[in-house]
Amino acid sequence: MNQWKNFSKGFFKENAVFTLLLGMCPTLGVTSSAINGLGMGLATTFVLVMANLVISLIKDVIPEKVRIPAFIVVIATFVTIVEMLMQAYVPALYDSLGLFIPLIVVNCIVLGRAEAFASKNSVGASIVDGLGMGLGFAMALTLLGSVRELLGSGKLFDISIYPEDYGMLVFVLAPGAFIALGYMIAIIDKMKKA
């Protein structure tokens, strides 16, 4: 398969958030600011790439009946590694994402890619797939985080754009996440059809 196509499908055609509507828990939970969205997206990307790499390597030696537990162990290992590394080297980001990092284990996208792609494709293609899917997820989370941060608290990446008092608080809260996501999906759908 064309590697570029394999990479770019994660951004638009098969974007996890905007098209497949997967991984909604972290999507709605952490995107109250752009930087949180980006951090979560990059952490997921790391897990996706590493899990895809390992799973495509070991796919031939795993009996079919235990493949899901085997995949989950691999994924959980990388998530725990990310958690410890974050806690050690970017404690500020860990403080705001802490609760959601362990949840990457049960993120549908990671297991989904392992099962649907890495367990059937070569190592190279799996890494590219993980990178594309992960960065597409990171892009979606950053976009959603930017919109919510801008509308809700008048800031973008913590830089003040307009006074916070004029912000619509609802966008920082959970209902605002649904509203913002809904409109973004509608816009992207429209763009795809056009």
Partner 1 sequence: MNGCGFTTKNITINNMATIDSSLKNMLLTLLIITAISGTSLGFVYKMTKEPIAAAKAKKQQKAIKLVVAEFTNNPAEDVVELTSKEGFPIKIFPARKDNQLVGVAVETMTNKGFGGDVRLMVGFKPDGTIINYQVLEHKETPGLGTKMGLWFKTDKGNQSVLGKNPGTSKLTVSKDGGDVDAITAATISSRAFLDAVRIGYETFMDNKNKIEKGAAQ
Q: Which residues contact 81 (CB under 8 A, 6 or more apart)?
A: none
Among 121, 127, 130, 132, binds partner 1 (CB under 8 A): 121
Q: What whole-number distance in Å separates Cα of residue 154 and Cα of residue 170?
A: 13
Q: Residue 87 is which amino acid?
A: Q
Kindly tell me which residue out of 103, 105, 111, 179 binds partner 1, with binding defined by CB under 8 A: 111
- We find the least distance from the C-beta atom of residue 77 to partner 1, in angstroms, to be 4
Tokens found for residue 95: 């403080």
* Site pattern 159..178 for partner 1 (x: CB under 8 A): --------x-x--xx-----
Q: Which is nearer to partner 1, 89 or 194 (CB)?
A: 89
Exposed e or buried b per residue across 9-32, where buried means at least 16 C-beta atoms within 10 angstroms of its C-beta:
bbbeebbbbbbbebbeebbbbbbb
Beta carbon of residue 153, minimum distance to partner 1 (angstroms, whole number): 7
* Least spacing, CB of residue 90 vs partner 1, in Å: 9
**Tokens representing 113?**
């890619």
CA 90, CA 35: separation in Å to the nearest integer?
13
CB of 115 to partner 1, least distance (A): 5
User: Which one of 80, 103, 151, 157 is in contact with partner 1 (CB under 8 A)?
Assistant: 80
Q: How far apart are CA 50 and CA 130, in angstroms?
A: 8
Tell which positions 50-79 bind partner 1, by CB under 8 A.
58-67, 69-70, 73-74, 76-77
The verdict on 179 binding partner 1 (CB under 8 A) reads: no
Chain mean position to CA 177: 15
Rounded CA separation 110/47 (Å)? 8
For strands 155-156 and 159-160, give the pairing.
Answer: antiparallel
- The site for partner 1 (CB under 8 A) is made up of 1, 6, 14, 20, 22, 32, 58-67, 69-70, 73-74, 76-77, 80-81, 84-85, 87-89, 91, 108-109, 111-112, 115-117, 119-122, 129, 152-153, 167, 169, 172-173
